[in-house]
Amino acid sequence: MIQVIDYVDLDHVPDENELIAMYHVEKAPSCKSLEHASMEIAKESSIGTWTDIVTLSPEIAKRLKPSVFYIDKENQVIKIAYTKELFEMDNMPQILSAVAGNIFGMKALQNLRLLDISFPRDIVNSYKGPKFGIEGIRNTLKVHGRPLLGTIVKPKVGLNETEHARVCGEAWEGGLDIVKDDENLTNMTFNRFEKRIEETLKIRDKIENETGDKKIYMPNITAKMSIMKKRADFVADNGGEYVMVDILTVGFSALQELRDYLEDKNLVIHAHRALHAALTRNKKHGLTMLVLAKIMRLIGMDQLHTGTIIGKMEGGKKEVLEINETITQQIIIGNDLTRLDQDWGVIKPVLPVASGGLSPLHVPALIDILGIDMVYQFGGGCHGHPDGTKAGAKAIVQALEATLKGTSLEDHAKTHDELAKALSKWS
């Protein structure tokens, strides 16, 4: 006898053993109703297929059937509860193949967007999470009570190893804590990875000895897995304390393996989100940056680009603040339309990073909106200073000093030439 299943159960109350997925759903014209579209999503993402099948036993259906327990027709939002048995807990690719897989290609849907995902306790406990977290990063840099300030070497690509190291040195001399590679700088014909590491860390050591301040370099190790491991080893062997990886282009399985590999190494992982907007920017389709941020916290990235609100990159205030809260707090209380509850247990928080189109002029607004548990990175807003990188770095530091003292940038600039010239250029 064929088992006929109804996946909609609005009386279902999810428990701690269920993964919850929240979707924005726009049905195709050929689809009868939002309820029918919801049924198709629940079915395709779990145990069902396009027709009734004799191989689906009542026992399987009872044990593994997900439940569409929430349907908001006005806002086209649904929530589905999946038993944890549907997932290989420490296998993020498998989890996403279910709740964010074939369903995006179904003819019954015009658009589909995974708004949020809430992981049950057992899945959360199967992941390591960040090794360092916010407190560990602050202890590594010996910086407390203020945000971390950094830059990205510009131009993105084109400088040789010595020129790259010189730019890093100028930024550190100007007072910045961090210099990182850009997302498309790896091992180039004109800038070899290993020589760049050696030259840059040599200058880092020199600046640290001169200033007495901790300085950090974040080299981009992005590559295939075997090479990333070798590059991470090389960084650690040469006294580096950070690695950077392009999280989406290398893939979720690579991130899990890299996090495992670095467990016994003293390396903070900085996560660059290149490619994310291809998945997240369309507000009707794909998935949200919030979902990606949760996944990165589970897998164990220590720092993550989450948005600036201001600057050149897309991302609104409500969205960025929700993401930052989700990756920095231990218990999240959700709402009906954009966010689900999440208990992170012992998983450490992730340090949010704001980067993209920032200059010293943005510092007061950044602190006011995003606070001090942040990394603020200034690329063109450092190197584009009329007097060069070192002066640009000084202007950023001066802008932070003024903001933390409650002084306007204009007043502070009266006695700080670097900030004055930054104001003149970018205001």
Phi, psi of 311 (to 5 degrees): 100, -160
Residue of 377, 264, 250 whose CA lies nearest to 311: 377
Query: Which is catalytic among the residues 12, 84, 128, 154?
Result: 154
Residues 427 and 381: their CA atoms lie apart, in Å, by 12
Q: Is 135 helix (H, G, I), strand (E, B) or coil?
A: helix
154 is catalytic: yes
Identify whether the C-beta of residue 324 lies closer than 8 Å to the C-beta of residue 294. Answer: no
Compute the distance between CA of residue 280 and CA of residue 391 in angstroms, rounded to an integer.
36
Write out the two tokens for 306. 């989450």
Q: How many angstroms from the chain centroid is the CA of residue 74?
A: 31
Which value, to the nearest 10 degrees, does the dihedral of the CA atoms of residues 12, 16, 19, 25 take? 40
CB 281 within 8 A of CB 314: yes
Please name the residues in contact with 201: beta carbons below 8 A apart, sequence gap of 6 or more. Answer: 217, 238, 239, 240
Classify residue 358 by its DSSP letter. -
* Residue type (1 letter), 330: Q
CA 191 to chain centre: 27
Which residue type is seen at 409? L
Which position among 65, 180, 215, 272 bears the catalytic label? 272
**Using N-to-C axis directions, what is the helix angle for 252-261 and 92-99, rounded to 10°?**
160
> Please, what's the largest Cα pairwise distance for the chain?
85
What is the side-by-side strand order in the sheet with 216-218?
216-218, 178-180, 148-152, 375-377, 351-355, 303-305, 268-272, 242-246
Give the integer Cα–Cα distance in Å for 414 and 398: 11
Task: List the one residue out of 214, 178, 170, 148 whose CA is nearest residue 352.
Answer: 148
390 is catalytic: no
Would you name the residues annotated as active-site residues? 154, 272
